Structure 1
Amino acid sequence: MPDLEIHQYEVDGHLGRHLVLDPRSLAYRRRYTGDPLRPVEWAPKVPVLDQQNLTAQGIHTSQLFEGVDDVDALGSCCGNAATALISVLHGLEALDAAGLSIADAGAAEAWAIGLYSDATHRDQWHDDAWPVQDCGSSGLGVAKALRHRGLVDQYGHATTAEELAMLFQTGPVLMGLPWFSAFSEPGPYGFIDADPTWHTSPLEGGHEVCLTALEQVDLNPDGTVADSTVLRFVNSWSTSWGEQGSGRLTVGTYRALRPEIDLTQPRLDSR
């Protein structure tokens, strides 16, 4: 096994992401080449998912997996974020063939839980997996799960705001980040960093979201992406959270948290 950089967080029913970096991934870093960076938006075909309130959605984990009881929430954010992303990459026929419903939010959440389980088994840096242990996963693990299922050809990474903005030009991006309590109560328009003192609030754990839009691109005089540039993401805590289930943050917040953020873009290049 390679020498991985691992940062584990507490896992509970709404947070379940760990930071796992493989040095070999740097070979798949997509460096910014100076091309124009334009605002762009990618719309998931699946409804906003909810990794909580599972039984109310008609999801019984005892029926999805053998040997487990029903649980009302899972730290399956990596599976949920990747489900939103994959619904952008594929057309309706391919999604139907993969068993992913875009009409039934509960069925899509059940599919995401299955992907989460797959990802926990791809995360070979620990001994636990779902089922039975709700151990959380990583952006790297869920990207491996998508590739194993044949739903993506490869996955690349970004380590700067400019590289992230470049990735956005071709598709949505998975972002894993440390989650502060202030983020759970976003401000107007879903900005999780609306409170300038967010960094002083307690760290709740790690979370994975699907970045879906580069809404506003501001550039510094030297051509770098300005801190005021706005990113939008879809969360997996139902439409009651944020702006109909979505949130926003600035590139300045990304830069502040960059040592504990990973950006992964599963890609479908063979189309």
Structure 2
Amino acid sequence: KQKIKETLDKKEQVILLHNRRSHSYLIKCNKCNNITQCPNCYVSLKYHINKNILKCHHCSHTNRLTKYCTNCKTNSMQLFGLGTQKLELILNKLFPQINILRYDRDSSQTKNNYQKILEDFEKGKAQILIGTQMIAKGLDFKNVSLVSVINADIGMMIPDFRSGEKNFQLLYQLIGRSGRHRENSFAIIQTYNIEDKYILYACKNEVKECYDKILKERKELFYPPFSRLIRIVISGTKEHTVQNKIDNLYRALIKFKSINILGPTKPLIE
């Protein structure tokens, strides 16, 4: 907050990246701990305050927001988590005299909105730009002297052997948005894992060291580029039919001694 205020006092601009859109990403009952989920994907629905709806970010299923739990029927549902919409509301309260723009999939659904948001920020019509990873790539604003990542750990929660690499790329690209045209620029990375090697590599601008570390880990685990990894996904409307297909494919592939098979396993999102 203090660094944002100092930047605004100098008539300079701020970019804040939070890679989680919506207002709140969890709706939970305080009585029975029931979480409102998508009936199709079995992931938590996200609350979008601009339309006052709950929405699945995978299949776009929507539902109305209710204070009553569908499980225990009590008036005890509560919103949890921080998304870009909620961040925008918080900043509007902290800096009521400042114009703030939000740049994510919800605010830039059309080409005209996409261009207008960026043009308005470039022309200085807003002093703070909030966005998801869309704002980290390919943008260059001359008056930006402060960039910050809100919760840089989000990308590390994905069970993907490339998650560290992707998080490094995102942080490295965002840090590059600051300091291109102004001296004494700052990049602030918020994290609960201050010893995370990928975050430290990005903060120290150690691209070669990060590259060498990733290659070493990939070689030890026989991951690409030292091997070829193929993901086979079988989907359908009936679980038992899908399971039979998977079992048949597994029995066919296991005959080949030259390949290693991981799984089969259920996906994170069904």
TM over 0.5, shorter chain: no
TM-score by length of 2: 0.26
Question: TM-score, normalization: structure 1?
Answer: 0.26
